Amino acid sequence: MTNPTDDHPDYADILATCLDMVLSKRATIETCVAEYPHYADSLRQELSIALLITKLKPPTLSDNKVASIEARLMKSLPSQKVLRPHFGMIRRNVAAIFLIIVVIFAGSAGTVAASADALPGDALYGVKRWWESVVVFIATIVGDTETVLIQLAETRLDEMTRLAEIGGDSSQNLSDLASAIENVLRYNSDLTSREVNFLQATHRFLIGSSVVDSPLAQNMLDEIAPFLTVIPERPPASDMSSDSPMTPTPTATVAPSVVLSPTATASPIESITQVFTPTPSATSRIPPTPTRTATPTATPTKTVLAPIVPTSTPTWTAYPTSTPAPTITPSMPVIGITATANGGGIVPVPSVTWYPWQQATWDTCYLTRTVDPYGNINDPYCNSTLPPPVDPESLGVEVTP
């Protein structure tokens, strides 16, 4: 029995209120139902089930079992090395530097470049996957795992799609796609529009594919289902100004005035300071947003010092200057600086992103220089799409595929 009114956006709030009242015995189901007669059927049913679950005797481990697991656990612990975070950090730094050197050489060899378009079953596919695992490892160290994971997830989906187009058997790679989805969902609670787009594309692919009936595909569709929500467009700046005492400059932006000189150092420093100079631009892709801490003018010239949160294992130093004179040597990895709008005003969010010459559509604005396989340094560019301002799950709106 389904009451059609329970899809109303307020219903989840009403149910939450009633649940608190009923579970704390400050009201009965019927008093709540009487208060919201429009939702009587749904409320009565859902409150009853919630109350019923609280009456279930929860499964518990017996004391003996708890003790035996503990004994087993303790037995395995002495064999562990004493945890020394400081030693771990040093070891990771050394490993990072070593791997970066390996990656530079591997990248210049060109094999990796050749494997970029490889599909499962191709001779170079193993090289491609090895390269990806190296990238993930480095991303973990520099703390930018989420960006890399969504890129890899898109790659898996692209491979599946291409395999399907050429009539290949994509069922073997379904678990890779499932793993990629799981990685994206595991590290994110508030998905970016890029991640939601990926999930929607995956949903479309699975629905139309020959593997849709497999249990794994069904499981993936279940995992994806809660995220197939409508993301509202960000309101125009004029609508937002009412919440803020300042008036945003129409096209304030962060100019790509940061020059990156990545330099691997033997003694990584603990913090990095970058200088951002916001300048107005008529062609900015970043919508202006109000800020409570700064009042942008039509010609902002103030220099903003944006301290970077120190990472545990900084392995690169980036000294932005006002002169775009990169000293990147060919085949060196590229460091991108992320700038994103955060509530109000443009806040440079330092984020060191490494990736080779493959380009992707990033969610946030990346002021990036890239190096192609021949060592040419391209002009900086900026991709900007603001993250969704509202948690998609809180909308409770599902799109029927």
Partner 1 sequence: MNRVEEQRILKLAQAGNSNAFAQLYREHVQTIFRYLYYRLNDTHLAEDFTADVFTRAFKDLSNYQDMGKPFVAWLYRIAHARVVDYYRKMGRQGTESELDESIIITQRTDDVVDNTLLRKQMAQVLHLAIAQLIPSQQQVVMLRFIEEKSLDETALIMDKKVNAIKALQHRALKTLAQLLAKMGFAGDEFLGGLS
Task: Give residues in contact with partner 1 (CB under 8 A).
Answer: 1-2, 6, 11-13, 15-16, 19-20, 23, 29, 42, 44-46, 48-61, 65-66, 69-70, 72-74, 76-78, 80-85, 88, 175, 178-179, 182, 186, 189-190, 215-216, 218-219, 222-223, 225-226, 391, 393-396
Smallest separation, CB 82 to partner 1 (Å) = 4
The distance between the two most distant Cα atoms of the chain, rounded to a whole number of Å, is 74
DSSP classification of residue 70: H
Cβ distance to partner 1 smaller for residue 26 or 81: 81
CB nearer partner 1, residue 50 or residue 134: 50
**Cβ-based nearer residue to partner 1, 8 or 162:** 8
CB of 74 to partner 1, least distance (A): 6
At closest approach, how far in Å is the CB of 219 from partner 1?
4
CB-wise, 104 or 178, nearer to partner 1? 178
Cβ closest to partner 1, residue 61 vs residue 101: 61
For residues 45-76, b (16+ Cβ closer than 10 Å) or e, as one string? ebbeeeeeeeeeeeeeeeeeeeeeeeeeeeee
Q: What distance in Å separates the CA atoms of residue 349 and residue 274, rounded to the nearest whole number? A: 10
Q: Is the dihedral of CA 81, 86, 89, 90 positive or negative?
A: negative
Residue 320 one-letter amino acid: P
- Minimum CB separation from partner 1 for residue 35, in Å? 17
- Cβ of residue 329: shortest distance to partner 1, in angstroms? 33
For partner 1, the closer of residues 295 and 342 by Cβ is 342
For the residues of 93-111, what is the DSSP string, one character each?
HHHHHHHHHHHHHHHHHSH
Query: Which is closer to partner 1, CB of 26 or CB of 374?
Result: 26
Q: How far is the CB of 226 from partner 1 (least distance, A)?
A: 6
Token pair in block for residue 3: 């009451």
Handedness of CA 75, 77, 78, 79 (dihedral sign): positive
| 85 Cβ contact partners less than 8 Å away, ≥ 6 residues apart | none
- By C-alpha distance, which of 257, 258, 245, 254 is closest to 287? 254
Query: Other CB atoms closer than 10 Å to residue 232's CB: what's the count?
Result: 12
Q: How far is the CB of 338 from partner 1 (least distance, A)?
A: 20
